[in-house]
């Protein structure tokens, strides 16, 4: 026997007193609890956020990549920046970035300079507006960071060539060659550059321990740099005797085919001076 299905709609009414109790309970559940005086006093007594520690460094952004240390120094002097300071160009894998670092002698000079040129559009370099902000001391600063690794292996700091002045002490005498065949070694590149005045490394007995600059001068004239992942080409850092010889190397090799008799037109050499 099939059960009977009632088709009449449910019309049972709920008493108004029950509705009133339900609404009052729901409102009470959503009403925020009053804060006690102790909690308000505790929140008011909380110390403010700790501000960044004052530093004697500043960072310049949107700097033209053609600007040199002297150009930035002259622009700062024209803007009224006084005191002693050093300029460092920022590099990434031995290639220029559009930023630089300024190291002042003390924090007071850095604060005064920040008041004069801090922000955007306070001064220009080669007709371009530059952004100046306060910054902490960067890593891999030549002459300051004593932990610089001169190993050209996969874990060496010089392998990356990143940071202020690419981690090099010499300015304008090093050239980064990239786009070369991946299988050639530093000896092959050095043999191909016999017509240039390469810097001769110092003797080992003349190198002082814990002296990165002396250790850099002891390195070979041509060093093959590590790859950033997989690459069919190679990069080499060439150190020359002087700035004019480095510029001559760039003028003759930049955007030319590397050893066209052996490799044909497969590899285009690119050369840039590391200032």
The tokens describing 215, both together, are 């250790």
Q: How far apart are CA 81 and CA 64, in angstroms?
A: 20
Q: What is the pLDDT along the chain (275 residues), one digit of tens a residue?
A: 454 544 454 445 545 554 455 444 544 444 444 454 444 444 444 444 434 446 899 999 999 999 999 999 999 999 999 889 999 999 998 999 999 999 999 999 999 999 999 988 888 998 899 999 999 988 877 655 544 444 444 333 345 788 899 888 889 999 999 999 999 999 999 999 999 999 987 665 554 555 666 666 777 899 999 877 788 999 999 999 999 999 999 999 999 999 999 999 999 999 999 99
The terminus-to-terminus CA distance of the chain in angstroms comes to 99
Q: Would you state the pLDDT for residue 145?
A: 52
- Which residues make Cβ contacts (< 8 Å) with residue 230, sequence separation at least 6? none
The whole-model pTM stands at 0.71
* Domains of the chain with CATH codes: 57-135 (3.30.70.330), 170-274 (3.30.70.330)
CB atoms < 10 A from the CB of 110, how many? Answer: 23
Q: How far apart are CA 76 and CA 70, in angstroms?
A: 10
Residue 198 per-residue DSSP state? B
Sort 116 into a burial class: Cβ within 10 Å, 0-12 / 13-18 / 19+: middle
Q: How far apart are CA 184 and CA 194, in angstroms?
A: 16
Phi, psi of 265 (to 5 degrees): -105, 30
Helices first, then strands: H and E counts in the chain: 9, 11
Q: How far apart are CA 119 and CA 100, in angstroms?
A: 15
The tokens describing 84, both together, are 């002693």
- Which residues make Cβ contacts (< 8 Å) with residue 132, sequence separation at least 6? 58, 59, 60, 61, 113, 114, 117, 118, 119, 122, 123
CB atoms < 10 A from the CB of 132, how many? Answer: 26
Q: Do 85 and 91 form a contact (C-beta atoms < 8 A)?
A: no
């Amino acid at each position: 026997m099939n059960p009977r299905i009632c088709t009449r709609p449910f019309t049972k009414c709920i008493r108004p007193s029950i509705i009133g109790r339900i609404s009052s309970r729901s409102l009470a559940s959503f009403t925020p609890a009053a804060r006690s005086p102790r909690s308000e006093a505790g929140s008011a007594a909380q110390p403010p956020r700790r501000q960044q520690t004052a530093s004697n460094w500043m960072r310049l952004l949107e700097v033209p990549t053609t600007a040199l240390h002297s150009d930035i120094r002259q622009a700062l002097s024209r803007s009224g920046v006084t005191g002693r300071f050093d300029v460092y160009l920022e590099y990434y894998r031995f290639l220029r970035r559009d930023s630089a670092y300024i190291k002042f002698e003390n924090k007071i000079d850095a604060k005064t300079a920040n008041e004069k040129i801090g922000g955007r559009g306070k001064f220009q370099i080669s007709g371009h507006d530059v952004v100046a902000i306060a910054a902490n001391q960067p890593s891999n600063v030549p002459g300051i960071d004593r932990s610089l690794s001169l190993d050209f292996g996969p874990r060496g700091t010089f392998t990356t060539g990143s940071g202020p002045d690419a981690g090099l002490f010499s300015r304008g005498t090093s050239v980064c060659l990239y786009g070369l065949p991946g299988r050639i070694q530093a000896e092959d590149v050095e043999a191909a550059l016999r017509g240039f005045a390469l810097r001769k490394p110092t003797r080992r007995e003349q190198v002082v321990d814990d002296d990165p600059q002396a250790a850099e001068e002891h390195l070979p004239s041509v060093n093959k740099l590590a790859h950033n992942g997989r690459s069919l080409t190679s990069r080499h850092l060439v150190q020359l005797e002087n700035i004019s010889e480095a510029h001559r190397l760039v003028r003759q090799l930049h955007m030319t085919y590397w050893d066209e008799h052996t490799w044909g037109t497969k590899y285009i050499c690119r050369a840039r001076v590391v200032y």
